[in-house]
């Protein structure tokens, strides 16, 4: 089992291995080709996994470094899935903000959209409120699936063979942009709107049998807003991989954000949007937690 991170101790991004309690990190950069990051580790996994598992050397306290998103700049857009928990699908459909155009409470096929790579930010970084552009900010706690072996036309029976690991994603959303533009890309893709991390936990630690039992939680200023097991997904991880890869070649390092449970801001009456100074914490069992202040 390896928990891969990207961190900065003051001399630029480095690749590291996080310990089990997420308090210390070991620098793994010396084991890798010059300039290689987590994305290159994913691509060269068979060649480097043994060395990383046996990594020794000085441990650095996490509090003394800045953890970046594990893949700070994905090569492609982050794949995202809308309305993939039944209760959230209902709250969203009835909120007045649904731009999917389905006109039904529960989708019959996965609703897939994307977030720009420039939206990705670190697990403890500030999320910009983009004052003047949006006034209706929302949170969405999600399990992120990281592709290892790429491919097209992947059958659901073999989908987990293509998963390299798992991470946490907060699919931050400008609901007013989502509604007014009648599509999801702009409202989802503003800079800093995709906090990720703190690590990618490899799939030898989180097996296919483990995935449904992972529990997704979100707290806003300490108040529990979202809580649900991944088992509640309408379309499970193999279905999502099969659907996306049907005509799109998935590549190593691609990230799929699998959807969010009920309890987002627009699910309340009146809606409970985020404001400057709010702190959102997303926790997924066995993956850790990310914590971002909105400013």
For 152-186, what is each residue's pLDDT tens digit?
999 999 999 999 999 999 999 999 999 999 889 99
Classify residue 20 as exposed, middle or buried by CB count within 10 Å of its CB (0-12, 13-18, 19+): exposed
Q: Are 186 and 269 in contact (CB under 8 A)?
A: no
Q: pLDDT band at 33, cuts 50/70/90?
A: confident
What is the rounded average pLDDT of the residues 132-156?
Answer: 98
For the residues 263-277, what does the mean pLDDT come to? 96
- Residue range 269-295: mean pLDDT, rounded: 97
pLDDT score at 103 = 54
- 200 three-state secondary structure: strand
Burial of 18 (0-12, 13-18, 19+ CB in 10 A): buried
Contact between 192 and 183 under an 8 Å Cβ cutoff? The reply is: no
* Residue carrying the six token digits 């899935």: 81
Give me the chain's average pLDDT, please. 94
pTM over 0.85, yes/no = yes
Dist. CA 14–CA 55, nearest whole Å: 15
Buried b / exposed e across 42-63, counting CB within 10 Å, b at 16+? bbebeebeeebeeeeeeebebe
Distance CA 26, CA 232 (A): 35
Average pLDDT value for residue range 132-137:
97
Give me the CATH code for the 78-293 domain, please: 3.90.850.10
Which pLDDT belongs to residue 104? Answer: 62
Q: Does position 100 have pLDDT exceeding 70, yes or no?
A: no
pLDDT at 57 over 90: no
Contacts of residue 186, defined as CB under 8 A and 6 or more positions apart, other chains included, come to 174, 177, 178
Residue 229's SS3 state is strand
Please enumerate in sequence order all residues whose Cβ is within 8 A of that of 257, keeping only pairs 6 or more positions apart, or say none.
78, 79, 80, 81, 115, 142, 143, 144, 169, 171
Residue 53 structure tokens = 């598992």
Q: What was the pLDDT predicted at 182?
A: 87
Tell me how far apart the alpha carbons of residues 105 and 83 are, in angstroms, rounded to a whole number: 9
């Amino acid at each position: 089992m390896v928990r891969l991170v990207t961190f900065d101790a003051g001399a630029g991004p480095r690749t590291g291995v996080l310990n089990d309690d997420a308090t210390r990190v070991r620098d793994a950069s010396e084991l890798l080709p010059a300039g290689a990051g987590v994305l290159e580790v994913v691509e060269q996994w068979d060649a480097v996994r043994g060395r990383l598992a046996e990594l020794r050397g000085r441990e650095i306290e996490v509090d003394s470094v800045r953890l970046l998103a594990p893949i700070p700049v994905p090569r492609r857009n982050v794949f995202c899935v809308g309305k993939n928990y039944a209760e959230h699908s209902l709250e969203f459909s009835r909120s007045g903000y649904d731009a999917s155009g389905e006109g039904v409470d529960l989708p019959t096929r996965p609703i897939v959209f994307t977030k720009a790579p420039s939206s990705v930010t670190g697990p403890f970084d500030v999320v910009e409120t983009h004052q003047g552009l949006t006034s209706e900010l929302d949170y969405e706690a999600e399990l992120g699936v990281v592709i290892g072996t790429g491919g097209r036309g992947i059958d659901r029976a073999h989908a987990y063979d293509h998963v390299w690991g798992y991470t946490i994603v907060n699919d931050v959303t400008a609901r007013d942009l989502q509604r007014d533009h009648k599509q999801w890309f702009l409202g989802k893709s503003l800079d800093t709107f995709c906090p990720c991390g703190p690590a990618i936990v490899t799939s030898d630690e989180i097996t296919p049998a483990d995935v449904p039992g992972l529990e997704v939680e979100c707290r806003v200023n300490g108040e529990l807003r979202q809580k649900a097991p991944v088992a509640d997904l309408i379309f499970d991880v193999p279905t999502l991989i099969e659907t996306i890869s049907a005509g799109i070649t998935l590549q190593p390092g691609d990230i799929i954000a699998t959807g969010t449970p009920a309890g987002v801001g627009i699910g309340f009456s009146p809606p409970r949007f985020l404001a400057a100074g709010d702190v959102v914490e997303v926790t997924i069992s066995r993956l850790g937690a990310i914590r971002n202040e909105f400013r």
